[in-house]
Structure 1
Amino acid sequence: MKRRYPDPSTWLSDEARDELSDWRRWAARTVVIAFAALAGLGVIALTWLSERALETFQSLHQAWFWAPLIWTPALTALIVWLTRRCAAGAAGSGIPQVLAAQDPAVSPEDRGLFVSLRLSVAKVILTAAGILAGLSIGREGPSVQVAAGIMHHARRWLPRRSAVNERGLLVAGGAAGIAAAFNTPLGGVMFAIEELSRRPEDRASGLLIGAIVLAGLLAVSIHGNGAYFGRINAADLTVSMWAPGLLIAVACGLLGGLFARVLVQSLRGGDDRFSRWRARYPVRFAAGCGLVVAVIGLVTQGATFGSGYGPTRALLEGQDTTHGLQVILRLIVTWLSAWSGAPGGIFAPALTIGAGIGHDVAAWTQHPQPALIALGMAGFLAAATQSPITAFIIVMEMVEGHAMVLSLMGCAMLSSAIAKLISPPLYDALATLQLQRLPPAHPTPPADSPR
């Protein structure tokens, strides 16, 4: 008797057969994953160049302590001149550009003003140059624009009628940039949900999660799986620490909100003398900002140069290398670095400022420092960006502070709420300024006019 086998087509559900037979879907996934890997490599290249640039600047400063007085303003002026001449869309953080590119008013032809492969390459070079100049900038915001620009380029390789849209590519790329820069994949997911995406379908995309994970894996494989700032030895949070924790949250909220408001107003411009000087002589103005940054850096013996990774890690490890004016001076140099028009982000400097606030409160109240420093980092980052969920998750992953999740969450939420009373959301306001770069729309001719 001949043995009868079941029809193989009955082994799979209709959904599975549709999934396996749709070649366009698999082609789109392959393209997205490939470009996610390229985005991760782009961020890794930015990280490597930034670290070499910082080492070179520190060597220069150690060899000739007075060199930043000439080097910093001259290189800052050159960076701004190159940015305005060759890559105007690369100026500033990079996160506002990604938000602006998603605006419905931006046509597909105009998205290249904000994100593109060319801008990604320029952002890598110019951001590293800013760190080489000694400016108080970070590479995390630029990583968002770099990765988003690379991912956005994938649209050219997608099959027709693909379900993957340009908005989804931008969100996936931006989130992958944060994940690779900080080695915080969960922070990248939350950044996409809280800051980049405004549509539920983008937030739930499996490709978005896959891009973030792949970018994070590439960063881990090259830089190691350690936390960004290492593991902190945080003491148990008792009732006695509620008062200093509350003080940190309030101080971060007030200072972070003030910082965001001043930065938005400065970049928006006005009728004051400095705004007119910046508008008329942007390169000279950038040199002036660089000179002030250099003077403050020399006064603080180099503590305010760069993004502040070294001083922040030293504070978390219990090494007090700061003085009473560290927070205010770091605020000033970060503001001036951004106001100069040079490409660079504020994530890392914001973490440094928050660490300084936490350290000062810990010193005043005689409480264990690492936990309060971590609270300050989450609080000020949340206040400056008004993205509290992203802030506390990034800090939690960066310091392996999972035992502090509730206290980090509470501090970030309170600081962000206070900052909202002082300033509009930073990145939304800066994205609105970016949209002013759009070319004027052509008026629609009347129906009876000749065409």
Structure 2
Amino acid sequence: MNAEPDFLANLRTELSSWRLWVDRAIVLGYALLAGLFVVAFTLAANWAFGLFEALYSRHAWAVLVWTPVLTAGIVWATRRWFPGSAGSGIPQVKAALHSEFPAGRRGSLVSLRLTLAKMALGAASFAAGLSVGREGPSVQVAAGVMQHARRWLSPGSSVDMRALLVAGGAAGIAAAFNAPLAGVVFAIEELTGRLEARASGVILTAIVLAGLVAVSAFGNLSYFGVIRVPRLGWDLVGPGLTVALGAGVAGGLFSRLMIASLTGSPQRLNTLRARWPVRFAAVGGLVVAVLGLVSGGVTFGAGSEAVKQMLAGHDELTPLFTLLKFIATWITAWCGVPGGIFAPSLSIGAGIGETVARFATPDMGPALIAMGMAGFLAAVTQAPLTAFIIVMEMVDGHSMVLSLMACAMLASLVSRMISRPLYEALAHHLVATATASSGQGKPQEP
């Protein structure tokens, strides 16, 4: 039978080791720093996309030159100096946490150097008008900051590299979405599979402090504001089921396309991409520019503003524009630029929900849009708990907890029949590449 804790003895133990408190201060300091880096990245991305919007509003046709040239430059710089910064950033963190990944090569995927590169090149992707998000990259940004703390901790510290990487990744999600619960669930569902007792304190500390920094900078506001939904009844079942199934199929197809494109599956276009990556990126940038012009600018950037307008009832995303956003996001990721897919996925899901809402009663619109966001994100990531909590916190949709949860779970189930989990597949590709190289060369981009 376990003895009751001795408060005085435990207090003396805590106060007797000055090094323990130094280690804790170091972790606290780096958690605050991680939040500051995510805030800086957010500000840089918003500023960069503002520049693109100014160019597009004044000289719309100039993007046919601007976007391809800048995309090619981003890919050239990424492949030449920072190959580990390509793509979302979540697969890199997952690969660095993998037991088979060579410990000596973690710096090629997660480091302070790559954090700075991810911020600069990620902001440049927004300046190019590409269909990217900043939330996935924020995971790699914050993880790169947190892992740097290990060199200052005492050799006997219980805080290991794994705990720091998980804490950084969770803090990145929490700060980027202003969704602390999503950060905790993301750490469990996407990064580790379970929350270890000895690491839980570090993870929660990082989430709280990074979140406080983000709240101090941007205010304690929901990402998409507060949605107003009517009383939810049985009349939502039919439209909601349609949204869940549609989002599940679309998200599964998107995930399968992404895996085939980014893991170098044998096909003619991937052969061309491997042979002429910069030229491929230029052509991809041109395609994204054309799609943006055709859609009236809706497909440029993350798409967050369009979602806010739809939730407020001031705008709509037609099925064609939703399809174009789907293609633009896939092409952007295929080019190999540093940028995430979380925010674009939310805008695609919102478009699916809004399309179904046209055939339902008008007051169901906000609810179906939110369900579409949760469903498509869950289908793409196959992390339904993270998806529904992110959307719930982003729209302050606590009255829709069961609806969002059911939609996310069903969409994820449908997606699993079509595709492997996206981030897991990309992470395994990075691990396999690093293991096969046996310490020679650099891991391929995710």
Q: TM-score range by the shorter chain?
A: over 0.9
Q: Distance in 2 between matches of 1:197 and 1:423?
A: 21
Counterpart in the other structure of 1:3: none
Match of 1:100 in 2: 95
Offset, 1:268 = 1.5
TM-score when normalising by structure 2: 0.95
Q: Does 1:145 align with 2:140?
A: yes
Q: Give the match for residue 337 of structure 1.
A: 332
1:168-179 equivalent positions in 2, closer than 5 A: 168-179=163-174
1:59 to 31, 49, 54: 54
For residue 342 of structure 2, what is the aligned residue in structure 1? 347
Partner Cα distance (2:325, 2:295) in 1? 10
Say whether residues 1:415 and 2:411 are aligned partners. Answer: yes
**Paired position in structure 2 for 1:446:** none
- Corresponding residue SS for 1:313: helix
Cα deviation for residue 12 of structure 1 reads 4.4
Q: Which runs of 4+ in 1 moved over 6 A?
A: none
Map 1:221-232 to 2 at 5 A: 221-232=216-227
- The CA distance in 2 between the partners of 1:47 and 1:137, in whole Å, is 13
Match in the other structure for 1:441: 438
Q: Which residue of 1 aligns with 2:21?
A: 26
The answer to whether 1:268 aligns with 2:263 is yes
Deviation for aligned residue 1:173: 0.2
Amino acid at match of 1:276: T
CA distance in structure 1 between the partners assigned to 2:179 and 2:22 by the alignment: 28
Q: For structure 2, list consecutive stretches of 5 or more residues without a partner in the other structure.
A: 1-5, 441-446
Residue correspondence of structure 1 range 275-424 to structure 2 within 5 A: 275-367=270-362, 368-424=364-420
1:38 aligns with 2:33: yes
Cross-structure match for 1:162: 157
Cα deviation code 1:310-336 (max 9, x no counterpart): 111000000124223021111100000
Query: Residues 213, 259 of structure 1: CA spacing in aligned structure 2 closer, same or farther, 3 A cutoff?
Result: same
RMSD: 1.6
1:237 to 232, 238, 247: 232
**Among the aligned pairs, what percent are the same residue?**
56
Equivalent-residue separation in structure 2 for 1:311 and 1:442 (angstroms): 45
User: Residues 202 and 349 (structure 1 numbering): CA distance in 2 closer, same or farther, change over 3 Å?
Assistant: farther
Sort the Cα spacing of 1:415 and 1:29 in 2 relative to 1 into closer, same or farther, 3 A.
same
TM-score (normalizing by structure 1): 0.94
Distance in structure 1 (CA, Å) of the matches to 2:340 and 2:69: 20
Preserved CA contact (<8 Å) 2:95 2:427: yes
1:181-260 aligned at under 5 Å gives the runs 181-201=176-196, 205-260=200-255
Q: For the structure 1 residues 442 and 64, does the alpha-carbon distance in structure 2 shift closer, same or farther, using more than 3 Å as the test?
A: closer
Assess if the C-alpha contact under 8 Å between 1:192 and 1:203 holds in 2. no
Secondary structure of the residue aligned to 1:13 is: helix
SS of the aligned residue for 2:60 comes to coil
Distance between the aligned counterparts of 2:256 and 2:13, measured in 1? 52
Gaps of 5+ in 1: 1-10, 444-451
* Structure 2 letter corresponding to 1:391: A
Task: Give how far 1:165 is off.
Answer: 0.5
